[in-house]
Amino acid sequence: MQIGPYTLANRLMVAPMAGVTDRPFRQLCRRLGAGHAVSEMVTSRPDLLRSLKTSRRANHDGEPGPIAVQIAGTDAQMMADAAAYNVDRGAQIIDINMGCPAKKVCNKWAGSALMQNEALALSIVDAVVRVCAPRNVPVTLKMRTGWCQSHRNAARIAVDAERAGVQMLVIHGRTREQGYRGEAEHDTVTAVKAMVRIPVVANGDITTPLQAREVLRITGADAVMIGRAAQGRPWIFREIAHFLDSGTELAPPLVVEVQRLLLDHLVDHYALYGEHIGVLSARKHIGWYVRHLPGGEAFRDSMNGIASADAQLAAVSHYFDSLGTRMDRLPLMTTEVGAAASMPFMETA
């Protein structure tokens, strides 16, 4: 799998998810088998580029390359300036967000709202490519199938984006109108793959190794991107990699391994956000880790009463110690396509 000058370790990618795919989460997913990870969406607004929130989202300290930063906005020059700003600070790949369905983003005509205005979308692509190409920084694009069922234009935008210089396309198999409802369709990926020569990545409702293999087989896609299914289950990447290589399912992780992974994740999370914000924002991650485990719902609820990092770490250790007396391994996941839509999340596309 190649993006410009960069050869990826495999064809498994972590989707950019606002409030989720920060540096600790990306590094954990890479450690557990993901070949590529894209940052959380960062704004192109110049007045916010140096804000604490944006600086945390753009923090790549110690992260293995290539460093991919996703930018969002509606003004071509502003997006080009944001691309240059992030490249100057270490970004090796710039990803354009044309897939976020969130109302607060689409109401400003950013994210998937850009698919309603193809001229504007292409002007943004042109501007970002122009500033990145002389620096040998590839530009990638993540989008949906279209704005709504009657306005599905991903294939047309894909062709224009390739012509403008985009070097990889990611397609989430839903329209903006769908949000995360229903099941993702990958026929659009198949159609786009037949029309362009650059790598095409399938995204949406890929929650098991078997689904990943089937999507790759049916669409001819070059890679798959995993979002919500990796929340609380970052080892899904090694499970998929093992299945693609061997055709056999990898045993679920040991309880003691998950305990260690979560504790390491939390320590890294606190280091990025500080104790107060770190403890609060870690609650969702803990909830995702334990949602399918015995007593997980009650334990997740108990997190709301914990205000210190030491207490949160101790509670997690105690829960998994207790769980380990009842089982050696986590239960085998059998989530079907579409089931992930009921999971709590904040995803950009």
Residues near 116 by beta carbon (within 8 Å), at least 6 away in sequence: 109, 147, 151
d(CA 329, CA 255): 5
| Cis bond before residue 66 (omega within 30° of 0) | yes
Which residues are within 8 A (CB) of 349 and not within 5 positions of it... i.e. 6 or more apart? 15, 16, 97, 98, 99, 100, 101, 111, 112, 142, 143, 144, 170, 172, 203
The type of residue at 119 is A
Distance CA 221, CA 168 (A): 11
Determine the residue type at 235.
Answer: W
Rounded to 5°, the CA angle 44-49-55 comes to 120
- The answer to whether the beta carbons of residues 61 and 34 sit under 8 Å apart is no
Give the other-Cβ count within 10 Å of 137's Cβ: 23
- Quote the CA–CA distance of 2 and 198 in Å, as a whole number: 9
Alpha carbons 114 and 129: distance in angstroms, whole number: 17
Which residues are known to be catalytic?
Answer: 100
Phi, psi torsion values for 24, nearest 5 degrees: -60, -40
